[in-house]
C-alpha cells in the first residue's frame, strides 16, 4: 500500500544542510556554524555511521620519525597510479593541523606516557596510525566532535530523518526533502547549500563490514539529480572480516597484522610471502586477492588470522573491542585461529568533487566516503579515510561559507561499451520494482558474485543487464526501507557499468580477462551521469 505523498514545506529553512553525522559531516557542521543555521540530518541515531565503527585509526605524519612527503609517497603508491596528487597533498599537509584541532577539542588518542602512540598498517612506510581506546578510534573521534557540536546553538541535529531527494531550482541544489521515521511525513527544507556526508555503499554487496546505514544513499540522490559520479568501479574489499556463519561480517582491523598477526590457509600454511614482499602488510587489494586464491586452491570457505605468536595480554589491551566481540562467538583471538575472508568495505569512488568539495551541481558539496576527491586513487591506503573526512569536511564547509563555485569537470567522451550492453535510460526520480526486498537481495548477490574481488567481461556484462532490469519500476513508498532499496538498485548497476568499461586491472579493480594495466595512455578516471554512459578522462 502506498503511503501519502504529501510534502510539508518548512517555510523558514536553514542556511546549510548536512546529510550524515559521521566525521566529515560533523567536522563540516562545526565549521559551517560560523556562517548561520546548520541542520544535520542522520537517518539513524546520531552515532550510527561508519565513523563509529572505525577501528584501526587515523593516519597523519606527526611522529618524530615521519614526514609529510613520506605519507604522500605511500598514499600515491597504494593508489596505483590513479590518485590526484594535488588532492593527496591537501590531505597530508592539512591532516596534522586537523588532528591537533581535534586534540584541542578533547580527542583522547592513546599515548605511551605523555607521547602519542602510533602503530603501522599495510603499505605505510612509518608507524603513523593514531588510535584511541585500542581499537575504537572512530567512536572516540565522533564523541569529541559531537561534544563540540553540542556547545554550538546554531547546529541542530535531527536523527531518524531520511533524506530522499535533493531539491533543485534553475539547475542549483537549494534544499532537501526528507522523511521523518516517527511520523512518516515528507518534509522539504530550503537551504543555501547542501553537503553530502552520507558515507559509503557497502550494503550494495551481499557481504560487507559496513553498518546497515551504508546503502549508497548520497551517491544515488546526487546521480538522480544529475551530478557526475567518478571511479565507481573501485570498491575496496577488506581482507579480514570475521567469518562465522549466521554472524555479521565484523571487521578485524588491519592493525592486527600491523602488530604481527599472520595469515594461514586451510592447511595452516603462511601464504602471504608468496604473493608480496611485504607479506601480511601488502596493499589491501593484494591481500584480498591472495586470500581468495588460497580459498580456491584449498576449496575452503575461509582462511585464518593467527595472533597466537603475540603476547596475549598485549592483544587484549590493544584490541579490546575486537577481543570482546569475537568472544561472543567463542573465539579467543589471543589463543585461537580466527576464521576470516574478505568483505566489501570502502568505496574509493563516489560523487565527483573538486579540491573544495564542490560537485558538478551548484549548491551541492560532498565530503567523506560519498565523495570522489581522487585522494584514494584505485586503492585506499589504510587509515586515510578518517583523515579524508576530517580534512575535506572542513574544506567543504569553508567553500560553502565562501560561495565557492566548482572548477570545470570533464566532458563526456565516446565509449566503446555504450552500445555493447543495452543500458536503459536512468530514471528521473526514485523507482522500485514490485518486490523491492527480493530485488535488493538479488542485486547484492549479483554484485558479490560478478562484480567482486576478481571480475571478467562476460560476468560483468550479464550483471549490467540484470541490474538494469531490476532498477526500473514504480515510485517507492514513503519509508526508509523503500528508499534504501531504491538507492541500492540505483548504485549497483553504476558499479557494474564502470567496471565493465575499465578494460584493465588497477588497484582494487582486477579483471582476469585484462590482468595488466593499460599502458597505452596515462591512468584515467571514470565518470558517469544519468545522461551519459561511463567515459574516461
Under DSSP, is residue 8 helix (H, G, I), strand (E, B) or coil?
A: strand
At 415, list the grid cell: 565509449
CA distance 118 to 156: 35
At 172, list the grid cell: 542549483
The candidate with the shortest Cα–Cα distance to 361, out of 171, 166, 167, is 171
Q: Identify whether the C-beta of residue 247 lies closer than 8 Å to the C-beta of residue 343.
A: no
The candidate with the shortest Cα–Cα distance to 398, out of 83, 28, 8, 14, is 28
Q: Residue 38, class by beta-carbon neighbours within 10 Å (0-12 exposed, 13-18 middle, 19+ buried)?
A: buried
Q: Where are the beta strands (DSSP E) in 181-319?
A: 186-190, 193-196, 229-230, 235-242, 262-264, 303-306
CA distance 78 to 87: 14
Catalytic residue among 284, 380, 455, 502: 284
Cα 101 to chain center, whole Å?
24
State the sign of the Cα–Cα–Cα–Cα dihedral 325, 330, 336, 342. negative
The candidate with the shortest Cα–Cα distance to 373, out of 99, 91, 141, is 91
284 is catalytic: yes
Q: How many CB atoms lie within 10 A of CB 530?
A: 18
Phi-psi region of 421 (alpha: psi -120 to 50; beta: other; left: phi over 0): beta
Give every strand in the sheet of 129-130, ordered side by side: 58-59, 129-130, 118-119
Q: Identify whether the C-beta of residue 193 lies closer than 8 Å to the C-beta of residue 14.
A: no
| Residues belonging to the active site | 284
Amino acid at each position: 500500500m502506498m503511503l501519502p505523498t504529501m510534502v510539508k514545506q518548512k517555510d523558514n529553512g536553514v542556511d546549510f544542510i548536512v546529510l550524515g553525522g559521521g566525521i566529515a559531516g560533523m567536522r563540516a557542521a562545526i565549521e559551517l556554524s560560523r556562517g548561520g543555521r546548520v541542520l544535520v540530518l542522520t537517518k539513524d541515531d546520531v552515532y550510527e555511521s561508519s565513523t563509529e565503527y572505525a577501528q584501526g585509526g587515523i593516519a597523519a605524519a606527526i611522529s618524530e620519525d615521519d614526514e609529510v612527503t613520506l605519507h604522500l609517497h605511500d598514499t600515491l603508491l597504494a593508489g596505483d597510479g590513479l590518485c590526484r596528487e594535488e588532492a593527496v597533498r591537501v590531505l597530508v599537509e592539512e591532516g596534522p593541523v586537523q588532528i591537533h584541532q581535534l586534540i584541542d577539542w578533547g580527542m583522547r588518542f592513546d599515548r605511551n606516557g605523555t607521547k602519542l602512540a602510533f602503530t603501522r598498517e599495510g603499505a605505510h612506510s612509518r608507524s603513523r596510525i593514531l588510535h584511541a581506546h585500542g581499537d575504537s578510534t572512530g567512536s572516540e573521534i565522533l564523541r569529541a566532535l559531537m561534544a563540540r557540536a553540542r556547545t554550538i546553538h546554531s547546529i541542530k541535529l535531527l536523527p531518524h530523518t531520511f533524506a530522499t531527494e535533493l531539491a533543485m531550482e534553475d539547475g542549483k541544489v537549494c534544499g532537501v526533502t526528507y522523511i521523518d521515521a516517527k511520523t512518516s511525513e515528507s518534509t522539504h527544507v530550503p537551504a543555501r547549500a547542501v553537503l553530502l556526508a552520507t558515507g559509503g555503499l557497502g550494503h550494495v554487496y551481499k557481504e560487507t563490514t559496513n553498518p546497515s546505514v551504508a546503502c549508497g544513499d548520497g551517491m544515488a540522490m546526487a546521480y538522480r539529480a544529475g551530478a557526475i559520479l567518478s571511479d565507481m568501479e573501485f570498491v575496496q574489499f577488506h581482507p579480514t572480516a570475521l567469518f562465522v556463519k549466521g554472524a555479521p561480517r565484523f571487521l578485524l582491523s588491519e592493525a592486527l597484522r600491523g602488530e604481527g598477526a599472520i595469515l594461514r590457509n586451510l592447511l595452516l600454511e603462511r601464504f602471504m610471502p608468496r604473493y608480496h614482499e611485504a607479506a601480511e602488510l601488502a596493499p589491501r587489494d593484494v591481500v584480498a586477492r591472495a586470500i581468495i586464491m588460497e580459498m580456491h586452491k584449498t576449496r575452503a570457505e575461509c582462511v585464518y588470522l593467527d595472533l597466537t605468536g603475540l603476547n596475549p595480554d598485549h592483544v587484549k589491551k590493544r584490541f579490546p573491542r575486537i577481543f570482546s566481540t569475537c568472544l561472543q562467538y567463542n573465539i579467543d583471538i589471543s589463543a585461537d585461529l580466527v576464521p576470516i575472508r574478505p568483505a566489501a568495505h570502502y568505496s574509493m569512488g563516489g560523487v565527483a568533487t573538486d579540491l573544495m568539495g564542490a560537485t558538478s551541481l551548484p549548491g551541492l558539496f560532498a565530503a567523506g566516503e560519498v565523495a570522489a576527491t581522487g585522494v584514494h586513487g584505485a586503492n585506499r591506503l589504510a587509515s586515510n579515510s578518517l583523515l579524508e573526512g576530517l580534512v575535506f569536511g572542513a574544506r567543504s564547509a569553508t567553500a560553502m561559507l565562501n560561495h565557492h563555485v566548482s572548477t570545470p569537470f570533464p566532458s563526456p567522451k565516446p565509449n566503446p561499451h555504450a552500445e555493447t550492453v543495452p543500458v536503459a535510460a536512468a530514471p528521473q526520480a526514485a523507482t522500485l520494482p514490485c518486490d523491492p526486498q527480493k530485488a535488493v537481495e538479488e542485486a547484492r548477490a549479483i554484485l558479490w558474485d560478478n562484480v567482486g574481488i576478481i571480475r571478467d567481461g562476460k560476468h560483468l556484462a550479464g550483471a549490467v543487464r540484470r541490474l538494469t532490469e531490476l532498477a526500473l519500476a514504480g515510485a517507492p513508498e514513503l519509508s526508509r526501507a523503500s528508499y534504501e532499496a531504491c538507492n541500492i538498485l540505483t548504485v549497483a548497476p553504476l558499479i557494474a557499468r564502470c567496471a565493465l568499461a575499465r578494460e584493465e586491472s588497477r588497484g582494487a579493480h582486477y579483471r582476469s580477462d585484462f590482468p595488466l594495466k593499460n599502458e597505452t595512455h596515462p591512468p584515467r578516471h571514470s565518470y558517469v551521469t544519468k545522461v551519459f554512459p561511463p567515459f574516461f578522462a
